[in-house]
Amino acid sequence: MFRYTKGTLVKEILMWIVAVIMLLPFYLLINTALKTSADAIGTPAFQPATNPTFNSFVEIFQSGGSGNIFVGLFNSIVITGGAVIGLIIFGGATAYVLTRRLSRLSTTLYYLVLVGIVVPAQLGLVPLYIGARAIGLLGSPVGMAVIYTAMLMPLAVFLYGGFVRALPTEYEEAATIDGASPFRTYWQVVFPLLAPATGTISIMTGIIVWNDFFTPLIFLNGSTAATLPVVVYSYVGSLVTNWNNIFAVLIVALIPITVLYLIMQKRFIQGFSGGLKS
């Protein structure tokens, strides 16, 4: 029987304190975005907005050029969505083949792929840029999605590989006895059981791609396909004192990835807790 003791009260108070501390950045973000330019500069950040206004949101959606929110939002969605889909399709299949084929070659290839997690991506930036330019991947959202798929493939293979190893082979053996091809066995039997890993990969790689600033700045430089982090940078450069506009852009950038997390959070938690049931 549950009893509300003094220890429970202390734990509850501590949890409320932690919750308030965690929510403070969001308060500052929203509070500053609702202020006017003068209030954002002349009043303390924690002071509530005296005359809350949505003018900063109106201004950022009316801006053009490198600060166009609609263009940045569209490009970020295309790039992030394309990269996540590519990682789910190719990462899962690659991990399944490398972990199920018990040969020296497959084991060696698997560990070579995992080396990509340890080695910083910046070390291969120059050859990657040269190769992307040679095949025409520079300056387009689709090309960026392909680049991100290649860069994050080791992470996807690593996460999928752990789940494939935990999956009993009886499922595949039963499908093979029923006459299913290897592709059909993977797609209709194995892949649905990897849903927790798929949720984890979707959120982890989605956040990485969505928030990345350096790679789009290099590979999309000189094009009109700016992503949201690059759009935010353009506001920081051109509107240094208009913090309400900058914070409004950040709020807009937070919404899509937050929605993705809310949709996939169950699978995400299962993926980290090893929620694969036989």
Tens-place pLDDT, residues 223-259: 778 888 888 877 775 545 678 888 888 888 888 888 8
Cβ neighbors of 257 (< 8 A, separation 6 or more) are 206, 207, 210, 211
Range ranked top by mean pLDDT from 104-108, 154-158, 255-259, 270-274: 154-158
DSSP state of 98: H
Longest distance between any two alpha carbons in the chain, whole Å: 74
Question: What tokens appear for 219 in the block?
Answer: 């590979």
* Residue 155 near residue 205 (C-beta atoms within 8 A): yes
CB atoms within 10 A of CB 197: 27
| Domain architecture of the chain: domains with CATH | 69-222+252-272 (1.10.3720.10)
pLDDT more than 90, % of the chain: 19
pLDDT at residue 78, rounded to an integer? 93
Q: What pLDDT band is residue 87 in, cutting at 50, 70 and 90?
A: very high
CB atoms within 10 A of CB 38: 10
Global confidence as pTM? 0.82
* Residue 102 near residue 161 (C-beta atoms within 8 A): no
pLDDT at residue 241, rounded to an integer? 62
